Amino acid sequence: MTGRFAMHVAGLAAALICGAQVATVVAQGPTVLNVLFDSPHLASIDQGKELTYRFDRKASDPKKVGEAFSDDIKLGIVNVDDKTGKRKVTMKIFTGERARKQQRITDMTGNPVLVVFLDRAVNNFQRVAGGKRPYLKDRFRVALREKATMEPAKLDYNGKQVDGFRVTLMPYADDPNRLKMRGYEGSKFVFNVSDQVPGHFLSLESNYVSSVPNSPTVSERIALHGEGTAEELK
């Protein structure tokens, strides 16, 4: 399980970057791919530290789109390679009955919480809009590379403002199959990113709203709560 998760992290980044050399020219300023996938998100986090992210899910009709709940996602730094800067990390997604098997991933520089968000983004969209997951995943991937917009932003973290970027994406808005998506083709995804906060990702947000009257709505948010010391990683 751990190996597959690590391969998925690396594979997703490679797929998004492939064929987009022009978009990744840093000399022209940071791009969406630079900020989300190329940056060393974990570089400022020392061994033994742990980031806590608060996950909040809201749903207007739990019977149709699943329950609303809040929980935690924890990212721990087990080891740091002093030569490469790569980290061995643990991922603990949710607690109690919702808890998934803890993941241990090696050779990380990017923040795997992004992959958790992207997986949920596609899964949730399929649940509300229908369609086949491979198709939706591919369209999301292409849209991230070609259609996402990014703007400088002042972001709030622990009572202060930090400089960062807000990436916004509506991956299915002009999809060839949008008329089959039950009105959810306008679903929006927002990435708030700053290299002034540990792990770089301040919040990741998804909103699923249909233009069809009386359709259920869903929103999810993964937000950085803070950095602390993980006793079990000492």
What is the average pLDDT score of the chain? 89
Other Cβ atoms closer than 10 A to 225: 15
CA–CA separation, 128 vs 73, rounded Å? 24
Identify the sign of the CA torsion 151, 184, 20, 224.
Answer: positive
pLDDT band for position 29 (cuts 50, 70, 90): confident
pTM: 0.88
pLDDT at res. 234: 45
Q: What are phi and psi of 29, to 5 degrees?
A: 100, 160
pLDDT at res. 5: 44
63 touches 141 (CB < 8 A): no
Is the pLDDT reported for residue 19 higher than 60? no
Give the H/E segment covering residue 5: helix 2-17
pLDDT at res. 167: 98
Nearest residue to 220 via CA among 201, 206, 202: 206
Average pLDDT, stretch 163-186?
Answer: 97
pLDDT at res. 124: 97
Token pair recorded at residue 33: 């791919």
CA–CA separation, 142 vs 16, rounded Å? 7
